[in-house]
Amino acid sequence: MSIKPPDLGRSNGTLPSIIAASPYPDPAIALSVQGVSKTFGKEKQRRSWSSRLRRNGQTASQPNGKEGKPAESGVVVAVDNISMTIARGEIFGVLGPNGSGKSTLIRCVSTLLLPDSGEVKIFGYDVEKDEMAVKRLINRVSVEASFFKKL
C-alpha cells in the first residue's frame, strides 16, 4: 500500500475538495489524541542495581559502607488523560513547564512510546496498529542524540 498525499493541483485549493481527494481514513482530522496516559517508574520496569544483585543472592554495599536499598516503587504520571483534536492545516503548540509531559506526549504521537491507555490517530491511522503508515506521514526533529537510533 502506497500512501501518497493528494495532488493539490487537481482541485481549486479549498479544504473540502482537498479532503475529498485524500487517500487517508480521516483526512479532516490531522491528529486525534483521546484519553492518553503514560506512567513511568513501576517496580517491575525499573530495578536498582542493588536489587538485581540481591536477586542473585548477593548483597550490595554503597561507597559509604551501608547496604543498598531496592528502588522504591514510586510511579511518575508523565501524561494524565490528555485529549485533543487538531484539524488539518491547523498550527498547534504544546506548552508547559519542565517535567509536565510535553516530550512524552510527542513521543507517544510519533510512535516512539506506547501510551498506557488511550488512543492516538494521525489522519485516521492508529499509532499502535498502523505504525509504519504513521511514520510515513510525520516528521519529528529532536535534540536528543538517541532519537535517530530509534527510527
Model confidence at 149, pLDDT cuts 50, 70, 90, reads: low
Q: Give me the mean pLDDT over the 10-29 stretch.
A: 60
Per-position DSSP letters for 17-41, written without gaps between them: HHHHT--SSSTTEEEEEEEEEEEE-
pLDDT value at residue 134: 92
Which strand (E) or helix (H) includes residue 109? helix 102-109
For residues 61 and 16, the model is more confident at 16
90 close to 30: Cβ distance less than 8 angstroms:
yes
Q: Report residue 129's pLDDT band, with 50, 70 and 90 as the boundaries.
A: very high
**The pLDDT of residue 22:** 64
The full set of domains in the chain, from first to last, is: 25-44+76-150 (3.40.50.300)
Residue 91 has pLDDT above 80, yes or no: yes
Confidence of residue 5 (pLDDT cuts 50, 70, 90): low
> Can you name the residues that pair with 61 across neighbouring β-strands?
67
Cell of 81: 488523560
